[in-house]
Amino acid sequence: MPEADINTPIPSTQPAIPVPSTYGANNIQVLDGIEHVRMRPAMYIGDIHSRGLHHLVYEIVDNSIDETLGGFNDYIFVSLNPDGSVTVIDRGRGIPVDIHPEKGKSALELVMTVIGAGGKFDKGAYKVSGGLHGVGASVVNALSEWCEVEVYRDGKVYFQRFERGVPQGDVKAIGSSDQRGTKTTFMPDHLIFKITEFRKDIIVDRMRELAFLNRNLSITVQDPQGEQEVFHFEGGLKEFVLFIDENRIGLLKEPIYIYGERDTTIVEIALQYNDTYQENVFSYVNNINTQEGGTHVTGFRKALTRTLNAYAQKNDLLKNLKLALTGDDFKEGLTAVISVKVAEPQFEGQTKTKLGNSETQSIVETILNEQLSEYAESNPNVLKVIIEKVKGAAMSREAARKAKELTRRKSVLESSGLPGKLADCSINDPEHCELYIVEGDSAGGSAKQGRDRSFQAILPLKGKILNVEKARLHKMLENEEIKTIILALGTSFGEEEFSTEKLRYGKIIIMTDADVDGAHIRTLLLTFFFRHMRALIDAGRVFIAQPPLYLVKSGKEQQYAWDDDERNSISDSMKKMQKGKANIHIQRYKGLGEMNPEQLWSTTMDPAHRSLLLVSVENAMEADHVFSTLMGDKVEPRRDFIEKNARYVRRLDV
């Protein structure tokens, strides 16, 4: 079944909202708002699956973060409760409970029931207005089976309960307390959400990130078993960069940290150079990850390049370098986090995660220029290390250029010539074409015979491709398998030349054996796509084929199984039809080559029957962590990761 999109109304399996008989015009409007949220939840929270579900928590936490940004709160407690509800507590000012003179209702009730009311209240200077964030507590309330709010204010405890967004009585004082703050508990409505179970790791990732971004804030996450994790980072972004580079070897003793304010804008930056060749820059506006970057990132790059370049020139550090530095040379091995707080952020771009405010660029640029030059003057030894790294990048760029000329890379990678190993398809329309990247010649042979040659192309790889996590650009371009892939895709390669528009296939399908080697090759390929052709993943072009693991046979009957549970239920049902007399034979496929071409087609390649896994990057930082752990230089973190995750591996076959 296709996933519901933003405009798909939820089928009305829900009971009508119970309307108290004394409702006037104001209330009807409120109810209309709530009903709209419940009819089209995706319009407000993105989707009704895991992502939307977790968004509910972020939405409530965001209100507490607003109190933090205003300087009123330093503590947030998030509890995943045993009954499936979630509690968020802060020590802010507490939502006001006094009666609004015109509406005749408490501010608390308005905040919780009027869709879009959030923005109308004084909620601090840096409220986020773009993207999905900032839809407010009322949306969470409308999508909750029930929701209870306790406010600690003026020496009292106030309480109000809601069911599917509708107040079950007015707010009332239920006790006294010398605390201040707000406590919200909500139960996501199972009539709305396809998934109602919260995942601790998803919540923890976001809470950790928020704690890094707000150094004066402490966040505790408690799981249903009562176990707590506390996130509090005195070092703020500095510690964030150390966390991102946990599995890499840093070149500077500690990250460089920059903080500055101008007008109402706050700029915070931490950066480090490490011994790898990739760049990892994460940027935030008002605690929201700006995946598409924007003016703050542009300002950062300009100032970084300019300041470092000027320092190197001035101190004669480039004397034996026979070429000029370019912007790209400053990117190798750079890890940075840029966090700005902007009063009225304008978000642009496809996913509304690109900052548009032009004044922010010059503010970031000015602050970084000033402070980085100051830092450079008082830390000449650190600067020496950075400039050495940058020179290394420039020389490798030059080496790559020469190698390119020598091997005439241009003609190899950019010509229309296709690699000899590629069995191409006959139609030309990329949207309808598929490229299977297959492990080994024998599987490649089966795939070539089994495919529908009109739209399916086969590229067999010989053994393992290069681990690009540890390789520089020119080493990659010397690698036969990588060259072959780039050539077959047609996208060309490298910052300037790469283009998704030249992609020759709508689907790129990785098809490897279901054993350790196959998993390794798949990881190597994914590392390559993630690090160097990320746009293809983001465009939803990269897939993983799912060959069956078993063939279960009994007499003339045979069925494929994709995991152990399925294998067992198939053989159980075969026994029952044949009343226990069945002679069941189970074949375990280890390699694709064990399947004949017809089998490979019918189980794994035929669009009518196959199932493909779409490769997507939900969380770029987590993905970076996984790849740097699995493919990087440090051994300890890799062992830890494998030990921790071994229980998730279902198809490991050593």
Q: Using an 8 Å Cβ cutoff, are 483 and 477 in contact?
A: yes
Please report how close the Cβ of residue 494 comes to ligand 0RA at its closest, in angstroms.
48
Nearer to ligand 0RA, 88 or 545 (CB): 88
Q: Which of 292, 328, 517, 538 is catalytic?
A: 517
H-helix or E-strand spanning residue 75? strand 75-80
Structure tokens at 57: 């928590």
Please report how close the Cβ of residue 213 comes to ligand 0RA at its closest, in angstroms.
18
DSSP string, 490-554: ----STTT--GGG-S-SEEEEE--SSHHHHHHHHHHHHHHHHH-HHHHHTT-EEEE---SEEEEE
Given the DSSP bridges, would you call strands 334-341 and 280-285 parallel, antiparallel or unpaired?
A: parallel
Structure tokens at 422: 């590629």
Please report how close the Cβ of residue 61 comes to ligand 0RA at its closest, in angstroms.
9
Q: Using an 8 Å Cβ cutoff, are 256 and 360 in contact?
A: no
Task: Give the span between the Cα atoms of 255 and 59, in whole angstroms.
Answer: 31
Q: Is 5 a catalytic residue?
A: no
Task: Give the span between the Cα atoms of 174 and 161, in whole angstroms.
Answer: 12
Nearer to ligand 0RA, 182 or 280 (CB): 182
**Contacts of 268 by beta carbon, 8 Å cutoff, 6+ apart:** 236, 237, 258, 259, 338, 339, 340
Please report how close the Cβ of residue 153 comes to ligand 0RA at its closest, in angstroms.
7
Q: Which of 150, 239, 268, 439 is catalytic?
A: 439
Nearer to ligand 0RA, 60 or 304 (CB): 60
The three-class DSSP label of residue 72 is coil
Q: Is 513 a catalytic residue?
A: yes
User: Tokens 């773009």, residue?
Assistant: 130
Task: Give the residue at shortest CB distance from ligand 0RA.
Answer: 63
Please report how close the Cβ of residue 102 comes to ligand 0RA at its closest, in angstroms.
17
Nearer to ligand 0RA, 106 or 571 (CB): 106
Residues found near ligand 0RA in the complex (CB under 6 A):
63-64, 67, 90, 92-96, 121-123, 182
**The Cα angle at residue 185 between residues 181 and 186, in degrees rounded to 5:** 145
Q: Is 378 exposed, middle or buried (0-12, 13-18, 19+ CB in 10 A)?
A: exposed
Please report how close the Cβ of residue 230 comes to ligand 0RA at its closest, in angstroms.
20
Please report how close the Cβ of residue 125 comes to ligand 0RA at its closest, in angstroms.
13
Q: Using an 8 Å Cβ cutoff, are 562 and 603 in contact?
A: no
**Contacts of 619 by beta carbon, 8 Å cutoff, 6+ apart:** 205
Nearer to ligand 0RA, 93 or 534 (CB): 93
Nearest to 451 by CA among 597, 610, 611, 549: 597
Q: Is 342 exposed, middle or buried (0-12, 13-18, 19+ CB in 10 A)?
A: buried
Please report how close the Cβ of residue 96 comes to ligand 0RA at its closest, in angstroms.
5
Q: Which of 150, 469, 513, 624 is catalytic?
A: 513
The three-class DSSP label of residue 639 is helix
Nearer to ligand 0RA, 95 or 336 (CB): 95
Q: Is 515 a catalytic residue?
A: yes
Nearer to ligand 0RA, 111 or 242 (CB): 111
Q: Using an 8 Å Cβ cutoff, are 528 and 485 in contact?
A: yes
Q: Using an 8 Å Cβ cutoff, are 529 and 536 in contact?
A: yes
Please report how close the Cβ of residue 72 comes to ligand 0RA at its closest, in angstroms.
7
Nearer to ligand 0RA, 167 or 440 (CB): 167
Q: Which of 328, 515, 594, 606 is catalytic?
A: 515
Please report how close the Cβ of residue 462 comes to ligand 0RA at its closest, in angstroms.
59
Q: Using an 8 Å Cβ cutoff, are 584 and 552 in contact?
A: yes
Task: Give the span between the Cα atoms of 99 and 105, in whole angstroms.
Answer: 5
Q: Is 517 a catalytic residue?
A: yes
Task: Give the span between the Cα atoms of 337 and 628, in whole angstroms.
Answer: 17
- The catalytic residue positions are 439, 513, 515, 517
